[in-house]
Structure 1
Amino acid sequence: MKRQWSKAGVIAAGNVLILLLCLALLLTDSLKVISNQLYDFNMKATMSREPHEDILVVAIDTQSIKEIGPYPWDRSVYADLIERMEAGGAKVIAFDIELYTESSSGGDGRLAEALAKYDNIIVPSHADVESRLQRSTLIREGEPLRAEGAVDPIPAFRKVWNRAHINATFDDTDGTIRSNWMTIVTPQGTYPTLALAAAQAAGADVSRYLDPPQLPGKPQGEALIRWTAGEYDFETIPFTSVIKGAIPPEVFKDRLVLIGYTVTGADEGITPVEKHMHLVYAHANLLHQILSGELVAPVRRGIDLALAVFVMLVLGLMTWRMSEIGGALLALGVFLLLLAGQFVLFAASDQYLDTLPALACGLIAYLGNIAMKTYFESKQRQYITRQFGRYISPDLVREIARSEQDIRLGGISKELTVLFLDVRGFTPLSEKLKPEEVVDLLNMMFNLITERALRNRGTIDKFIGDAAMILFNAPLDVPDHPYRAVKTAYEIQEGMRRVREEVRDKYGVDIAVGIGIHTGEVVVGNIGSYLRMEYTAIGDNVNTAARIESSTQPNQILVSEATYARTGGAFAYRDAGEKLMKGKSLPLRLYEVIAPQESSDKERTAPKVS
């Protein structure tokens, strides 16, 4: 019971640590960077690259600068641009350029006249937020974003004026533009973002975007941009081509025109779909989103955390109930299902479910529990090896424990040295002892026998009452198995000296051990039924070893001629003559072990007979 409670306590403590680690990851935004990358992948993979056909970009590009001259230009060129597009029937004209100061190049008067002439032109401002904004302290979730002020166009350009801001919203973690403030509140009034102002001027329904779904940790009115197209997907016309009259007027009919920089290095930002996108195309993507009625929204708050807890529980529990391969396949399947489900949900409904908390917590729960399971299985394997090593060879137990296959019935033919021993005089002794004393005495003798046998790489095949059968060279190979068997027998007889003296002094009975050894081919393996089997050896040579043991005198070790021929150089022998064994037609010559010889391994096979 103590062991079970100990295991349960370790598992409980381990899972508490797993839970605390997951909470630390979730509460500290440690997963934010990877979560953003997963979001960006979903966004880029679901791009249609088919922007709204009413959107047109007029680009201040390299070609225009070469033909018109170095920037800044005389602002009269903007007046010419406006006149040509208005003549073509443009629905909205929105400038993504700064007109906050009077021009040193001239043309402010002509541009002011053109701006005052039409009410569908948007000239933006820049809200004063980036210079001192610290999101962690000044932005409060759910409250409108307030700026200290706004930098507006010069007064001459505000006679007929549709206000808008062109502030970019950069993510704190990696500087990527994933969202935009739909409105910014300033002392001068509320400024919609440029795309929202353009959509309003075109008469589109923008009510959903004035109060978009609340984003975690963001101010009221901040919305995720649905990136639909890259720079080259939008229809783009060089600025210079328009003012030169190279573009047919009908191109502008009912179009929403955005005017911005596309010169390399000018007004660029990092977006989920392109690393260097000119920000006029960011406004174009947001404008497409509003005109198309698309709105990216996170799923209801708390679903991602509930999903993380569910995945942790499933993987943590099933790790203990399934095999290692089954658990690994389950974990892999859950992770793939989370990623696929997230992608399908986003592609189908523009709802984003952040599955990274579930992925991370599930992975931690799986790895943590599989580590604990492996630890306990290793301890259990070691325990089984220790326990069964008392009955069979520890080498055999380790071989079984390492095997990934079931134990099969059957055996192989192999040369073994088989040792039989029998305790003589034990029957009269047992009549004088209580049953528990008989068991204690047997255990003491068998401990001695087992220790000597295992020390010499023998396998205890079985104990039969007061007799024992020991195998050498199975299940693992022992090259000098005849020598090991004889050495074991001699050490057992030496160890029995003290046991005999104790029994004689205490009970007045003499006990002795007879040992017989034979080397030859036997069948060794798992023998029995699928319900009950044992690892043993059978065959005529096993019977021969048993017959040799029955021919011994008290405290005598007899070996066959086959064993003697392989060990004569290591032990001194006495020729015991020939004896006819039961079941044998010819007598066997036997040899009695006298004592070990001090000789090298090379001399072990040289017989020495006294």
Structure 2
Amino acid sequence: MKKGLSKSAVIVTGNVIVVIICLIFLAFGLWKVLSDQVFDMNMKQSMSGAPHGDIVVIGIDSDSIKAVGPYPWDRKVYAQLIDQLEKAGAKVIGFDIELYTASNNPESDKLLGDTIAKYNNIIFPSHAELENEFARSTKVKAGELIMAQGVQNPIPAIDKSPHRAHINAAYDSDGVIRFNWLEINTPQGILPSMGLAVAQLAGADVSKYLNMPPQQNSPKSQLTIKWDGMEKDFETIPFSEVFNGKIPASVFKDRIILVGYTAPGSDEGTTPVERHMHLVYAHANILNQILNQKIITPVSGAVTVVLAALMVALFGFLTWRLKAISGIVFVFSVCIALMIVQYLTFAYSDYYLDAVGAMLSGLISYIGNIAMKTYFETKQKNYITKQFGRYISPDLVKEIAKSDSEIQLGGIKRELTLLFLDVSGFTPLSEKLKPEEVVDFLNMMFNLITERALENHGTIDKFIGDAAMILYNAPLDVPNHAYYAVKTGYEIQKGMERVRADVEAKYGITLSIRIGINTGDVVVGNIGSYLRVDYTAIGDNVNTAARIESTASPNQVWVSESTYEQTKAYIEYNFAGEKLMKGKSAAVKLYEVVSIKGEPTNGEKPGKAS
């Protein structure tokens, strides 16, 4: 990568793209499908299943249709039901039944209307005629009431109650009923929902609902329904049993009655808590919510954005600080914690914190940063492989490439064994050879040296003309590195015996190789400037190895005392004497390699990182 596109610049650019993607998703509500699913799950898990005890549903079920007669019934049936409930002392009677057309029996229509007129606690619904979803979304402003084009009322013969209510169902984008409009503006005035109208008529305090502040980007008076019960949770009595006088009057005294369809396949909708719920129970849940004075308040969108920003920053930052497994555990732990916080907030405070957007924004940040991290790690491994692949054992290259720990390339102190070798007699030989023959000879000789070095886990530091420097125990640990260095020198000398014989026979020139080996602490790493660096070793022990090589006898391998002490169990030596070397205040004991008599048996595999 060029200097202008540094690692930091790539990370910053990548995270800017992550932020833009998250903002797009948040701004356009692309998380809504998943958010709605989590909302439904929270709603179902938090419902008490114990609605307000004043609510009774009288259901028009299959048995009632069999008992009373084929549906639709003669409307005098409803008149008789009203009289029975009024005599029993019912507080309010709300019908979730649409009577928008005259029946075949006008006298029954009139009878029902007269019955309604006798009492002041009866509600038969109207239906607000709303525009289609697209048209409404273009005309209704946030914070204003939904505006209806018109109202479908019960027929005049029946429309005798002073109390009005709408039974319009409000469907979310996925067809689920999660909210309702408590009030709709119509040409005939403001029309309350059935739940609100019944609660108000029952004497409940509805002031907080009439003055409810509009939710963000929603019409005024839009109520998120607190579903607190499924159909089975509400006290439900079949219509026919009430009509036929089988239920004691005391059951209905001072109670709120909702009459609606409960027969299979009639007037059903999908809700967060039940896939096929008869909509009379939707009104019952709204009524229950008002009686219990509950309002679900979504947390401000600004809080969601701030939380999302926090997750993006946190996940992005820690991706670079944690290892892969730790990062995954952390990310999923935070996501689970967010879901728990969201649920507890909703269940115990009726505030709804939509954490899905924040959670998924964090996951996008994590995925984006882990992709960048993987790219740079792969790039580093490729660099290492390319950098060292020509100089060290293939086994070591594999160990470096798959190592999770970073290799310290800036220069570290560690114990190495260093092997120096030099070829004598090469200059007169090169005078007798053509240039291309010189290159071929050097390649042949250095192939021998390279093969022996790599086979014994060495790192070829450099070739300088007809000399070479080889490191052992860098960049990764090589157990028994002194042994492998001596073994390399011995095998090189053995391999050069045939080469020397061929050169002397063909050109009359005697070639010889001197090899010096020393073990000790050095500084090893990438050493140089930003324009040019070399992976090499420096220090007094490096100089000592070079001077041992220059002192060694031709075609011999000489080692220092430190190397001798680490390898004498496996190598046969002759004492070569003591030599006073430049820069040394005391003479250095030297040993000449005679033969290999064994090998380490501690079971350690050379080349494996510790």
TM over 0.5: yes
Q: Distance in 2 between matches of 1:492 and 1:117?
A: 127
Aligned residue number for residue 140 of structure 1: 141
Aligned residue number for residue 602 of structure 2: none
Is the CA contact 2:226–2:289 (under 8 Å) kept in the aligned structure 1? yes
Aligned residue number for residue 266 of structure 1: 266
Q: Relative to structure 1, is the Cα distance of residues 330 and 108 closer, same or farther in structure 2, using a 3 angstrom cutoff?
A: same
Unaligned runs of 5+ in 2: 408-416, 429-441, 473-477, 526-535, 538-547, 558-571, 577-592, 597-610
Question: Does residue 453 of structure 1 match 2:445?
Answer: no
Aligned residue number for residue 186 of structure 2: 186
Q: Which amino acid aligns with 2:184?
A: I
Aligned residue number for residue 396 of structure 1: 396
Question: Does residue 240 of structure 1 match 2:240?
Answer: yes
Q: Distance in 1 between matches of 2:521 and 2:496?
A: 36
Is the CA contact 1:213–1:223 (under 8 Å) kept in the aligned structure 2? no
Aligned residue number for residue 114 of structure 2: 113
**More deviation in 358-367 or 319-328?**
319-328
Q: Secondary structure at the match of 1:134?
A: helix
- 1:495-527, Cα deviation, whole Å (9 max, x unpaired): x99xxx9xxxxxxxx99542789xxxxxxxxx9
Q: Secondary structure at the match of 1:157?
A: coil
Question: Does residue 36 of structure 1 match 2:36?
Answer: yes
Q: Relative to structure 1, is the Cα distance of residues 300 and 458 closer, same or farther in structure 2, using a 3 angstrom cutoff?
A: same
Q: Relative to structure 1, is the Cα distance of residues 258 and 420 closer, same or farther in structure 2, using a 3 angstrom cutoff?
A: closer
Is the CA contact 1:422–1:513 (under 8 Å) kept in the aligned structure 2? no
Q: Secondary structure at the match of 1:237?
A: strand
Kindly state the Cα deviation for residue 297 of structure 1 after the two structures are TM-superposed. Answer: 1.1
- 1:45-92, Cα deviation, whole Å (9 max, x unpaired): 001000000000000110110011111100101011001100110000
Q: Secondary structure at the match of 1:94?
A: strand
Equivalent positions of 1:514-553 (< 5 A) are 514=513, 553=555
Is the CA contact 1:166–1:193 (under 8 Å) kept in the aligned structure 2? yes
Kindly state the Cα deviation for residue 10 of structure 1 after the two structures are TM-superposed. Answer: 1.4
Kindly state the Cα deviation for residue 143 of structure 1 after the two structures are TM-superposed. Answer: 1.3
Q: Relative to structure 1, is the Cα distance of residues 130 and 5 closer, same or farther in structure 2, using a 3 angstrom cutoff?
A: closer
The CA RMSD over aligned residues, in Å, is 4.4
- 1:389-415, Cα deviation, whole Å (9 max, x unpaired): 5664343132144245899xxxxxxxx
Kindly state the Cα deviation for residue 139 of structure 1 after the two structures are TM-superposed. Answer: 2.5
Aligned residue number for residue 253 of structure 2: 253
Aligned residue number for residue 540 of structure 2: none
Aligned residue number for residue 326 of structure 2: 326
Question: Does residue 124 of structure 1 match 2:125?
Answer: yes
Q: Distance in 1 between matches of 2:284 and 2:299?
A: 26
Q: Relative to structure 1, is the Cα distance of residues 57 and 31 closer, same or farther in structure 2, using a 3 angstrom cutoff?
A: same
Aligned residue pair count = 505
Kindly state the Cα deviation for residue 167 of structure 1 after the two structures are TM-superposed. Answer: 0.2
Q: Relative to structure 1, is the Cα distance of residues 588 and 370 closer, same or farther in structure 2, using a 3 angstrom cutoff?
A: closer
Equivalent positions of 1:130-209 (< 5 A) are 134-172=135-173, 174-209=174-209
Please give the TM-score of this superposition, normalised by the length of structure 1.
0.73
Is the CA contact 1:128–1:149 (under 8 Å) kept in the aligned structure 2? yes
Q: Which amino acid aligns with 1:384?
A: I
- 1:77-129, Cα deviation, whole Å (9 max, x unpaired): 10110011001100000000001111114511221111010000011100001
Q: Distance in 2 between matches of 1:530 and 1:81?
A: 103
Q: Distance in 2 between matches of 1:447 and 1:156?
A: 116
Q: Relative to structure 1, is the Cα distance of residues 553 and 177 closer, same or farther in structure 2, using a 3 angstrom cutoff?
A: closer
Is the CA contact 2:452–2:492 (under 8 Å) kept in the aligned structure 1? no
- 1:421-471, Cα deviation, whole Å (9 max, x unpaired): 731559999xxxxxxxxxxxxxx9999569843897553357799565689
Q: Relative to structure 1, is the Cα distance of residues 282 and 588 closer, same or farther in structure 2, using a 3 angstrom cutoff?
A: closer
Q: Distance in 2 between matches of 1:142 and 1:25?
A: 24
Is the CA contact 1:459–1:470 (under 8 Å) kept in the aligned structure 2? no
Is the CA contact 1:139–1:218 (under 8 Å) kept in the aligned structure 2? no
Q: Distance in 1 between matches of 2:521 and 2:420?
A: 27
Q: Which amino acid aligns with 1:514?
A: I
Q: Distance in 2 between matches of 1:133 and 1:67?
A: 44
Q: Distance in 2 between matches of 1:455 and 1:589?
A: 18
**More deviation in 372-381 or 92-101?**
372-381
Q: Relative to structure 1, is the Cα distance of residues 420 and 178 closer, same or farther in structure 2, using a 3 angstrom cutoff?
A: closer
Q: Which amino acid aligns with 1:255?
A: R
**More deviation in 379-388 or 162-171?**
379-388
Q: Distance in 2 between matches of 1:115 and 1:31?
A: 48
Q: Distance in 1 between matches of 2:213 and 2:512?
A: 91
Q: Relative to structure 1, is the Cα distance of residues 112 and 492 closer, same or farther in structure 2, using a 3 angstrom cutoff?
A: farther
Is the CA contact 1:452–1:492 (under 8 Å) kept in the aligned structure 2? no
Is the CA contact 1:452–1:491 (under 8 Å) kept in the aligned structure 2? no
Please give the TM-score of this superposition, normalised by the length of structure 2.
0.73
Is the CA contact 2:112–2:158 (under 8 Å) kept in the aligned structure 1? yes
- 1:460-490, Cα deviation, whole Å (9 max, x unpaired): 357799565689xx89xx9xx99x9679956
Q: Secondary structure at the match of 1:373?
A: helix
Question: Does residue 351 of structure 1 match 2:351?
Answer: yes
Q: Distance in 1 between matches of 2:41 and 2:346?
A: 11
Question: Does residue 366 of structure 1 match 2:366?
Answer: yes
Residue identity (%): 45
Aligned residue number for residue 422 of structure 2: 423
Is the CA contact 1:73–1:105 (under 8 Å) kept in the aligned structure 2? no
Q: Which amino acid aligns with 2:111?
A: R
Aligned residue number for residue 577 of structure 1: none
Q: Distance in 2 between matches of 1:169 and 1:447?
A: 88
Q: Which amino acid aligns with 2:294?
A: E
Q: Distance in 2 between matches of 1:419 and 1:356?
A: 60
- 1:199-228, Cα deviation, whole Å (9 max, x unpaired): 110111101112334233321111100000
Q: Distance in 2 between matches of 1:67 and 1:188?
A: 39
Q: Distance in 2 between matches of 1:219 and 1:298?
A: 14
Q: Which amino acid aligns with 1:259?
A: V
Is the CA contact 2:93–2:258 (under 8 Å) kept in the aligned structure 1? yes
Q: Relative to structure 1, is the Cα distance of residues 271 and 529 closer, same or farther in structure 2, using a 3 angstrom cutoff?
A: farther
Q: Secondary structure at the match of 2:180?
A: strand
Q: Secondary structure at the match of 1:143?
A: coil
Q: Which amino acid aligns with 1:9?
A: A
Aligned residue number for residue 413 of structure 1: none
Is the CA contact 2:425–2:512 (under 8 Å) kept in the aligned structure 1? no
Q: Distance in 2 between matches of 1:328 and 1:514?
A: 56
Unaligned runs of 5+ in 1: 408-417, 430-443, 502-509, 518-526, 536-545, 557-579, 591-610
Q: Relative to structure 1, is the Cα distance of residues 377 and 133 closer, same or farther in structure 2, using a 3 angstrom cutoff?
A: closer
Q: Which amino acid aligns with 1:337?
A: A
Q: Distance in 1 between matches of 2:61 and 2:469?
A: 99
Q: Relative to structure 1, is the Cα distance of residues 588 and 395 closer, same or farther in structure 2, using a 3 angstrom cutoff?
A: closer
Q: Which amino acid aligns with 2:310?
A: F
Q: Relative to structure 1, is the Cα distance of residues 459 and 77 closer, same or farther in structure 2, using a 3 angstrom cutoff?
A: same
Is the CA contact 2:126–2:152 (under 8 Å) kept in the aligned structure 1? yes
Is the CA contact 2:180–2:223 (under 8 Å) kept in the aligned structure 1? yes
Q: Secondary structure at the match of 1:74?
A: coil
Aligned residue number for residue 439 of structure 1: none
Is the CA contact 1:147–1:184 (under 8 Å) kept in the aligned structure 2? yes
- 1:272-322, Cα deviation, whole Å (9 max, x unpaired): 000000000000000000000001110123110111011101111121122
Is the CA contact 1:92–1:121 (under 8 Å) kept in the aligned structure 2? yes
